[in-house]
């Protein structure tokens, strides 16, 4: 029998408390079993997890921002290296000259020089790569002649390309034998 006053607890004949929940009479054992089966997180648990995540983010974000310029410098150097090696392999595969020029401090051009005169003529394809689109705040400078790869894979002289940003500098060298490497 449920008590009329839902605020008070009644006792059954065997000494078990009886409470009315949502209009239904239940024993304390059943109420405890129902409450222990409840799923989810408490507000305290959620706030604790949020605090731990905020601490990790507070540590990780400044470190990531500090490492970013170095990653951009390495990526830009590898981009230049890869494009120079690609131009060399195309010169060998197509049995003609490929010229790499540096018109600005953040871009370079790759010319498929089919008539081997060293300049871009009508009908010759030119590819311009702006390094700042993928790697902002990176500059390129060149010392020596423009790398010109011939059909044997060699270059017409040695060239040093310096890639710089706020974290430092990397150099890409092209030797007369056509070897391209990052120093």
pLDDT, tens digit, 9 for 90 and up, residues 112-147 = 987 777 777 787 888 999 999 999 999 999 998 889
Which residue segment(s) compose the domain that 119 sits in? 73-182
Q: How far apart are the first and last CA of the chain?
A: 89
> Quick check: is 110 in a domain?
yes
Instruction: Write down the pTM of the prediction.
Output: 0.68
Q: For residue 79, what is the domain's CATH number? A: 3.55.40.10
Q: How many residues does the chain have?
A: 183
Total number of domains in the chain: 1
Residue with tokens 């940003």: 165
> Quick check: is 159 in a domain?
yes
> Quick check: is 42 in a domain?
no
pLDDT of residue 6: 44
Rounded mean pLDDT, 102-117: 87
> Quick check: is 32 in a domain?
no
Banded model confidence at residue 50, pLDDT cuts 50, 70, 90:
very high
Residue 50, burial from CB neighbour count under 10 angstroms (0-12, 13-18, 19+): exposed
pLDDT digits (tens, 9 = 90+) for 55-84: 999 999 988 888 899 999 999 999 999 999
Alpha carbon 2 to its chain's center: 65
More confident residue, 47 or 13: 47
Residue with tokens 């408390």: 17
> Quick check: is 28 in a domain?
no
> Quick check: is 153 in a domain?
yes
> Quick check: is 117 in a domain?
yes
The 24-27 sheet, strands edge to edge: 10-11, 17-21, 24-27
| Average pLDDT of the chain, as a whole number | 84
């Amino acid at each position: 029998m449920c008590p009329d006053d839902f605020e008070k607890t009644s006792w059954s004949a065997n000494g078990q408390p009886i409470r009315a929940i949502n209009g239904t009479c239940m024993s304390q054992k059943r109420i405890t079993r129902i409450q222990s089966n409840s799923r989810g997180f408490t507000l305290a648990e959620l706030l604790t997890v949020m605090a731990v995540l905020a601490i990790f983010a507070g540590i990780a974000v400044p470190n990531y921002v500090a490492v970013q310029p170095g990653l951009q410098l390495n990526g830009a150097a590898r981009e230049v290296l890869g494009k120079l090696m690609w131009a060399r392999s195309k010169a060998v595969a197509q049995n003609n000259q490929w010229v790499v020029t540096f018109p600005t401090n953040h871009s370079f051009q790759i010319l498929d020089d089919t008539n081997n005169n060293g300049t871009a003529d009508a009908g010759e394809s030119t590819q311009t790569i702006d390094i700042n689109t993928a790697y902002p705040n990176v500059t390129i400078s060149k010392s020596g002649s423009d790398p010109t790869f011939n059909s044997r894979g060699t270059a017409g002289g040695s060239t040093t390309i310096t890639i710089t940003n706020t974290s430092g500098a990397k150099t890409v060298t092209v030797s007369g034998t056509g070897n391209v490497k990052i120093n």
